[in-house]
Structure 1
Amino acid sequence: MTRASLDKQPHEVASMFDDVAERYDLTNDVLSLGQARLWRKAVDKAVGARPAERVLDLAAGTGTSSVPFARTGAYVVPCDFSIGMLREGKKRQPWLPFTAGDATKLPFADDSFDAVTISFGLRNVQDTDAALAELYRVTKPGGRVVICEFSQPTWAPFRTVYTEYLMRALPPVATAVSSNPDAYVYLADSIRAWPDQPALAALLQKAGWQKVAWRNLTGGIVALHRGTKPAA
């Protein structure tokens, strides 16, 4: 079993997700107390995929997040660097064009996608700035980015309760439902170390994205950040 460290070496992170691929979606539903499905719906609405658009779903895992985009008639590319996740996804959704790729060196041409999105994957990338720059590069002028990531609860008392859950309750729950509970200790650590809402917005602006804004979900446990690539 593999547990990545917070220096986020790509081979460690990929191996960790390989280990949890089979039960990853189930574990997320349990650990989020069912909120994960609501968060996916919020992402789907924020992306607003339309027929014939090209959508990149980065850190797509098993493709669960990609299916709603495909249902709109958009051409969606689920991309992930965990081969285990991609294999599991191909079993479940063999019709989706799963693609192996590193967020810091995406295997796509400039200006390829109308929309790019990444859910609960950006904080696992070793170089956040490089990933945001790559997402910007492969987005068409006038295109959009949607990032769904764990963030900081806005109400201080709730933030304390949430942190206690992450560090004390999450590991034993993960032990009961996950094939690699140690991976969820890393995930809890990575959530605590992740920038808050304004800090991530600043990173998006630094990468060139404009009209950057965010919306809190579930009291700020999760935040949806959005931005637009300037039109040519």
Structure 2
Amino acid sequence: MARADLTKNSSDVSTMFDGVAKRYDRTNAILSAGAASLWRIATVRAIAPRPREAVLDLAAGTGTSSAAIAKSGAFVTALDFSAGMIAVGRERHPDIEFVQADATTLPFDDETFDAVTISFGLRNITDPHAALAEMYRVLKPGGRLVICEFTTPPVPVIRATYRWYLRSVMPTVVRVASSNSEAYDYLAESIEAWPDQQTLSRWLRGAGFSRVAHRNLTLGVVALHRGRKPVNNARTSRGRRAAASPLDATGV
């Protein structure tokens, strides 16, 4: 697996997730000290899914978040680019519709979904700006976007402690809990390389979203980002991708 310089190859990342699929949820629960379930609850509340709404869950992995969203009565489509993750997800959640595809070229018509969400997956996409443009395209006017992602803790001492955890503690835990410790070396590096909350908010505005806001969780280790597709100025063609923010994935 290539190092996490945010110019990753999508096939490499997909293969990496294939290799950790069976123990992925358990490993995440251990690494987050149980906080992963709390982040999932906060994400579902932010989405606020309603019965019979169409919700797209990107980077859905094994469908744990998709199943939580579906409890509301919404129709959930779980999309991931890892065949291994989808295979495990279909076995665990046979009532959820799984689709294998890349988030930068979504196989859906314009204005299909009432809400789009992605948890801990945007930083693994080769072109996050293209992915945001696609999310905008497939949302209905007035549709909701919710992103849950690792980010930069705003308090210096928390930020330093978190980096120490990623570099020193996490590798030790992963060697015991995961079937592929090298994959988590990449994931730790991708977290450190990912831009901060303000930068991601600018990306959302650059993609056309309005009412952009974020809320820190767990001392800023994770942030929930939200946005809306405007009702009266919706641009839904694939050409929207070209209008995405010109900032590169490093936020420079």
Decide: shared fold, TM above 0.5. yes
- Per the alignment, in what secondary structure is the counterpart of residue 165 of structure 1? helix
Do structure 1's residue 17 and structure 2's residue 17 form an aligned pair?
yes
User: In the aligned structure 1, how far is the partner of 2:68 from the partner of 2:181?
Assistant: 29
Runs of at least 5 residues in structure 2 that lack an aligned partner in the other structure: 233-252
Alpha-carbon distance, 1:4 to partner: 4.0
Partner of 1:181: 181
Counterpart residue type for residue 147 of structure 2: I
Counterpart residue type for residue 175 of structure 2: T
Percentage of pairs with the same residue: 56
Give runs of aligned pairs for residues 121-200 of structure 1, distance below 5 A. 121-200=121-200
The size of the alignment, in residue pairs, is 230
Partner of 2:89: 89
User: In the aligned structure 2, how far is the partner of 1:118 from the partner of 1:165?
Assistant: 24
Do structure 1's residue 225 and structure 2's residue 219 form an aligned pair?
no
User: In the aligned structure 1, how far is the partner of 2:225 from the partner of 2:194?
Assistant: 14
User: In the aligned structure 1, how far is the partner of 2:96 from the partner of 2:65?
Assistant: 12
Partner of 1:29: 29
- Per the alignment, in what secondary structure is the counterpart of residue 97 of structure 2? coil
- Per the alignment, in what secondary structure is the counterpart of residue 105 of structure 1? coil
Counterpart residue type for residue 92 of structure 2: R
User: In the aligned structure 2, how far is the partner of 1:146 from the partner of 1:131?
Assistant: 13
User: In the aligned structure 1, how far is the partner of 2:79 from the partner of 2:2?
Assistant: 20
Partner of 1:57: 57
Alpha-carbon distance, 1:58 to partner: 0.2
- Per the alignment, in what secondary structure is the counterpart of residue 106 of structure 2? coil
Alpha-carbon distance, 1:155 to partner: 1.1
Partner of 2:206: 206
User: In the aligned structure 2, how far is the partner of 1:54 from the partner of 1:37?
Assistant: 23
Alpha-carbon distance, 1:69 to partner: 1.3
Deviations 1:115-173 (A, max 9, x none): 00000000000101001000000000000100000001111111101100001111111
User: In the aligned structure 1, how far is the partner of 2:107 from the partner of 2:27?
Assistant: 30
Check the 8 A contact 1:118/1:148 in 2, yes or no.
Answer: yes
User: In the aligned structure 1, how far is the partner of 2:158 from the partner of 2:203?
Assistant: 26
Please, what is the CA RMSD of the aligned residues? 0.7
Question: TM-score when scaled to structure 1?
Answer: 0.98
User: In the aligned structure 1, how far is the partner of 2:2 from the partner of 2:216?
Assistant: 28
**Candidates 2, 5, 10, aligned match of 2:3:** 5
Q: Runs of 4 or more off by more than 3 Å in structure 1? A: none
Partner of 2:44: 44
User: In the aligned structure 2, how far is the partner of 1:133 from the partner of 1:166?
Assistant: 31
Alpha-carbon distance, 1:101 to partner: 1.1
Do structure 1's residue 215 and structure 2's residue 212 form an aligned pair?
no
Check the 8 A contact 1:4/1:183 in 2, yes or no.
Answer: no
Partner of 2:250: none
Alpha-carbon distance, 1:5 to partner: 3.0
User: In the aligned structure 1, how far is the partner of 2:231 from the partner of 2:32?
Assistant: 37
User: In the aligned structure 2, how far is the partner of 1:107 from the partner of 1:148?
Assistant: 22
Runs of at least 5 residues in structure 1 that lack an aligned partner in the other structure: none
- Per the alignment, in what secondary structure is the counterpart of residue 132 of structure 2? helix
Question: TM-score when scaled to structure 2?
Answer: 0.90
- Per the alignment, in what secondary structure is the counterpart of residue 157 of structure 1? helix
Deviations 1:167-192 (A, max 9, x none): 11111110101010111110010000
User: In the aligned structure 1, how far is the partner of 2:128 from the partner of 2:163?
Assistant: 23
Deviations 1:9-35 (A, max 9, x none): 000000000000000000000001111
Check the 8 A contact 1:62/1:90 in 2, yes or no.
Answer: yes
User: In the aligned structure 1, how far is the partner of 2:45 from the partner of 2:172?
Assistant: 33
Counterpart residue type for residue 5 of structure 1: R
